[in-house]
Copies of this chain bind each other. A is one copy, B any other.
Amino acid sequence: MSCQHLQLAEAIELFVHDGASVALEGFTHLIPFAAGHEIIRQRKRDLHLIRMTPDLIYDQLIGMGCARILTFSWGGNPGVGSLHRLRDAVEHGWPRPLEIDEHSHAGMAAAFTAGASRLPFGVLRGYIGTDLPAHNPNIRRVACPFTGEALAAVPALNPDVTILHAQRADRAGNVAIDGIVGAAREAALAAKMLIVTVEEIVDALPPAMNAIVLPHWTVGAVVHCRGGAYPSYAQGHYARDNAFYQRWDAIARDRQRFLDWMDHHVLGTRDHRAFLASLQTEATA
């Protein structure tokens, strides 16, 4: 595989197909909002969305009807409360029913790690005494061939496309990530196609040695997209907009207000720069 430098719209158009399984990872940090918005703009449908912590961007994708299934382990607005669009889809099937493949964090971490290792399943000592296995056929048991102990097993996650946001890439497409990574590295290496949006493209990455680097030949496409994680954050570039996360609660609570907001700020903007400008305008209005 050789890494291409693309515009965001091109990358989404080329690699995210209706019906695909797509993981936008990043744990609170480096959530690829710009890429999620572009998926909405291109009105992708029937996606199998995968993410440990469906965040606002998944609330938006679900509320806009892009998703058919959701694989996840915690679906809330961090530090605020519910994801109202996710709730509405599960509780009332609006705008369409959403199938749920629900795990614990440890289970999803094992599934991504198995995916990155191209093993068919991951093993953990987990789920004991919980009702999750009874409701999810993707949580099974496997016996240790040495001790006989029964452990939990989950099928590997190998998304058709994983999308990350990172601080920087070099011209060859090597990607460097600083700070909190969550399961981003495993989701990246588990993917059939990896797209990374980055704050900046540099001639040479900082000295790496034991730092977190995704080698260019594991990366399908690099997209230069400043502010691509906003309102999430990029360590060393900009802070998380906690106030936006709080404002989202009221926006997402109401179907019409949600649709109006998406119409104005996402569907009504050409790209991420225009999206950010529309929020800026609103803030200073």
- Complex Cα–Cα for A44 and B202 (A): 54
Q: Indicate whether A119 reaches chain B with its CB closer than 8 angstroms.
A: yes
Residues from chain B with a CB closer than 8 A to the CB of A145 are 121, 140-142, 153
A33 to chain B, nearest CB (A): 22
Does any Cβ of B come within 8 Å of A99's Cβ? no
Q: What's the number of copies of this chain in the assembled complex? A: 2
Of A50-58, A62-70, A204-212, A218-226, the stretch lying at the interface with chain B is A204-212
**A125 within 8 Å of B (CB atoms):** yes
Cα A166 to Cα B155 in complex, Å, equals: 37
Verify A144–B118 contact, CB threshold 8 A: no
Asked if A16 is at the interface of the complex by the 8 Å CB criterion, the answer is: no
Residue A147 is within 8 A (CB to CB) of chain B in the complex: yes
Which residue of the partner chain B has the closest CB to A140? B145
Q: How far is the CB of A174 from chain B (nearest CB, A)?
A: 15
Chain B positions within 8 Å of A195 at CB level: none
Among B153, B178, B209, the residue within 8 A (CB) of A146 is B153
Q: A121-B146, A145-B121 in contact; A210/B209 too (CB < 8 A)? A: no
A119 touches B210 (CB 8 A): no
Find chain B residues with CB under 8 A from A209 CB: 178-179
Partner of A181, one of B142, B153, B155, B210: B210
Given A181-B210, A209-B179, the answer on whether A124 and B120 have CB atoms closer than 8 Å is no
Q: Report how far A146 CA is from B146 CA in the complex, Å.
A: 20
Considering only CB atoms, which chain B residue lies closest to A156 in the complex?
A: B146
Known pairs A118-B125, A140-B145, A178-B209. 17 more at Cβ < 8 A? A119-B125, A120-B146, A120-B149, A121-B123, A121-B144, A121-B145, A121-B146, A138-B146, A140-B146, A141-B145, A142-B145, A145-B153, A177-B210, A178-B210, A179-B209, A210-B210, A210-B212
Closest 7 CB pairs of A and B: A140-B145, A120-B144, A120-B147, A146-B155, A145-B153, A121-B144, A142-B145
